[in-house]
Amino acid sequence: MSDRLKDDLSSVELEVIRKGLLSATGFDIGNYKPGQMLRLLSTIMARAGAETFQEYLALLKREPQRIEDFKHFITINVSEFFRDKSLFDYLDRSIFPPLLEKFKSLKIWSAGCASGEEPYSVSILLEERLRQKFFDYEILATDIDDEALEKGKIGVFPAKALKNVSPVLKESYFDVIEAPRREQGQSEFKVQEKLKKRITFQKQDLLLPLETQKFHLVLCRNVVIYFTEAAKNQMYSNLAQTLLPGGVLFTGATENLLNYRDFGFEKLETYFYRKPFLK
Ligand SMILES: C[S@@+](CC[C@H](N)C(=O)[O-])C[C@H]1O[C@@H](n2cnc3c(N)ncnc32)[C@H](O)[C@@H]1O
């Protein structure tokens, strides 16, 4: 860590930083684990050439573009298609069939979608099912990070993001953009319109009041890792309100909800929690 910010700041100093950033950017770092946030903040200050926090705040106020840079940096948006492949296999094998049996049209929310790898993966699974049986579905994909959302809308991904996508699925759902030979770069993959037309990308902060729409499936994966316990619990309880009875929450592979009952869920399998059907 750079010495621009000490890692043993008092709670009063932390509060000054939190309030300063909240008023300059609208982003509340108080909902995130302090150690992680200070390390990220220290790095972004160093990149901006700010020696002190006050200098960095002044920069944010003088150059508004830095606000988006700040948000982009502080929200880590690494993702890939079919992240934790075995869990996506479970989703496909054990979650979709009963959902589709019960509901003929699915509303799905990828909450914290990064650049779209997650909602596009879900769309691929459903398009494959559509080959056998007709149903309808739509996907809402939200994130707090404008840059990630923009990438999602464009839908062009490097080969490494597709390492879990089989050659058959690549062929069916992507167009290859060959890298110019002399640049010796890697080819990129552009998602086809049949996936794009199912997904709406939209900005949403999961720590503010949530969607009023209701969903049959909500994916919220690898988003809460840096949230404080309180922020995490608040968010899961809000997400539970957005699920229809019988709807399922799919979490990340390190996000085993031990207190799922507190949010009114029943556990289907680790990482899959259902809002009970009405009796
Ligand atoms: C590591 S990515 C996870 C992407 C995808 N869900 C996955 O599992 O691969 C975390 C995403 O959460 C987003 N995020 C972080 N805090 C958020 C918040 N308060 N509201 C909405 N999205 C947030 C970040 O911008 C980032 O794109």
Q: Does the CB atom of residue 255 touch ligand 1 within 6 A?
A: no
Q: What is the pLDDT of residue 184?
A: 63
Ligand 1 centre to CA of 29 (Å) is 14
SS3 50: coil
Q: Which residue has the tokens 């994966």?
A: 221
Q: What is the pLDDT of residue 128?
A: 98
User: Token pair for residue 69?
Assistant: 């840079």
Question: What's the average pLDDT block by block, 10 residues per block, for the chain (279 residues)?
Answer: 63 90 92 89 92 94 91 89 98 97 96 98 98 96 95 96 97 90 77 98 91 93 92 95 97 95 97 93
240 to each of 138, 194, 219, 262, how far by Cα in Å? 19, 30, 11, 10
Q: In the chain, what are the helix, strand and coil shares in percent, each to the nearest 5?
A: 50, 20, 35
User: Token pair for residue 155?
Assistant: 């839908």
Cα–Cα–Cα angle for 92, 96, 100, nearest 5°? Answer: 150
Q: Does the CB atom of residue 79 touch ligand 1 within 6 A?
A: yes
Domain boundaries, the chain: 11-74, 85-156+191-274
Single-letter amino acid code for the residue at 64: P
Q: Is the whole-model pTM more than 0.85?
A: yes
Cα–Cα–Cα angle for 257, 93, 103, nearest 5°? Answer: 85
Ligand 1: which of 143, 160, 210, 226 to mutate, judged by most atoms within 8 Å of the beta carbon? 143
**Fold for the domain defined by 85-156+191-274:** Rossmann fold (3.40.50)
Ligand 1 centre to CA of 278 (Å) is 31
Q: Does the CB atom of residue 119 touch ligand 1 within 6 A?
A: no
